[in-house]
Amino acid sequence: MNHDEIKDSISAYCLGALDETGQSSVEEHLKQGCSECEALLREMHEVVNGLAFAAPAQKPSALVKEQILAAIEPQQAPAASPLIQLKEKVEDSTVELLQRGRERWMRVSWGLSLAIAVIVVLVGLYSQYVKTEITFLKKRLEVSDQVVSQLRTELSKQERILKVLQSSEIRIVDLQGQKSSPDAIGRVLWDPGQKLAVISALNLPPTPSDKDYQLWMLRGTQPVDAGIFSLDEEGKAIFTIETIADSINLTAFAVTLEPKGGVPQPTGDFYLVGAVIRG
């Protein structure tokens, strides 16, 4: 727990309402010498300790008083004078009034202290609940933002593919598997006017962790980097690229396996190759 969470848990700690994990967190925080939390702890201890002295005092009954006096002096005492009796009645009445006032105050004080302690605990627990709920909602919002971002990326990808497929100038270049991957096949759907192409590939070998497949466009015999790609769980790939501006000189497409991140010029074996056929 952080400082604010520890601070909200001090009241529950004083009343023994925390579980072992919460109690350990509070004690560990106090060991680090947080003056603010130590002051709050002392204040709450005073409130809780005051509850032990909040019970009203009990006055012994007259029977107990008579039994004690009888044990001390068995002989009957002479009758008190009317003046003394009146004095005793006044004293007893005064004591009784003071006692009643004290009991009333102690009941109010005890109830007030208990109410304050309960309110502090409830507020602390509710504050902790609200903070937990806020954290949970923030995480859900982050996940939602990630999902929306992924959907937008996928939608953009599909729109680019659809744009190529709907073109009246679309050309098709078939890619053939080479010695490194004889069973692999691929296809390029190419729109020279929009300078866009959709590439699909199947049956390529799984990509090693330190490698990437890299697509090349050949301008005459000169390879031009067209980007790296990876295979999905089913071993296939489909993606779009922007082709070179001088598409009239585009003669072929090829796929090689290169070090992670790609290279400026091909260094690995060719896995797919397809020539551009002009009608």
Q: How far apart are the first and last CA of the chain?
A: 72
Dihedral sign, Cα of residue 89, residue 91, residue 92, residue 97: positive
User: How sure is the predictor about 260, in pLDDT bands with cuts at 50, 70 and 90?
Assistant: very high
Contacts 24+ apart (CB under 8 A), 1-9: 1/25, 1/26, 1/29, 3/29, 3/34, 3/37, 4/131, 5/128, 5/131, 6/34, 6/37, 7/36, 7/37, 7/40, 8/123, 8/124, 8/127, 8/128, 9/124, 9/128
Task: Please compute the mean of the pLDDT values over residues 24-47 and round it to a whole number.
Answer: 79
Q: What is the pLDDT of residue 254?
A: 95
Rounded to whole angstroms, the Cα distance separating 176 from 254 reads 9
Per-residue pLDDT of 105-119, as tens digits, reads: 555 555 556 666 666
**What per-residue confidence (pLDDT) applies to 60?**
55
Instruction: Note whether 190 and 197 are within 8 A (CB).
Output: yes
- What pLDDT does 77 receive? 46
Model confidence, pTM: 0.47
Q: Which CATH number fits domain 171-275: 3.30.1380, 1.10.150, 2.60.40, 3.30.460?
A: 2.60.40
pLDDT at 81: 53
d(CA 266, CA 272): 13
Q: What is the arithmetic mean of pLDDT over 173-190?
A: 92
CA distance 120 to 123: 5
Q: Average pLDDT over the chain, rounded to whole?
A: 76
- Domain boundaries of the chain, sorted by first residue: 3-58+78-146, 171-275
C-alpha span between 244 and 72 (Å, rounded): 121
pLDDT tens-digit readout, 49-68: 655 555 455 555 566 556 55
| pLDDT per residue as tens digits for the range 209-255 | 999 999 999 988 899 999 999 898 888 998 888 876 667 788 999 99
Q: Would you state the pLDDT for residue 178?
A: 95
**How far, in whole angstroms, is CA 153 from its chain's centroid?**
26
Residues, the chain: 279
Could you report the per-residue pLDDT of 141-176, keeping only the tens digit for each?
Answer: 777 777 777 777 767 766 767 776 677 778 889 999
Mean of pLDDT values over 83-90:
53
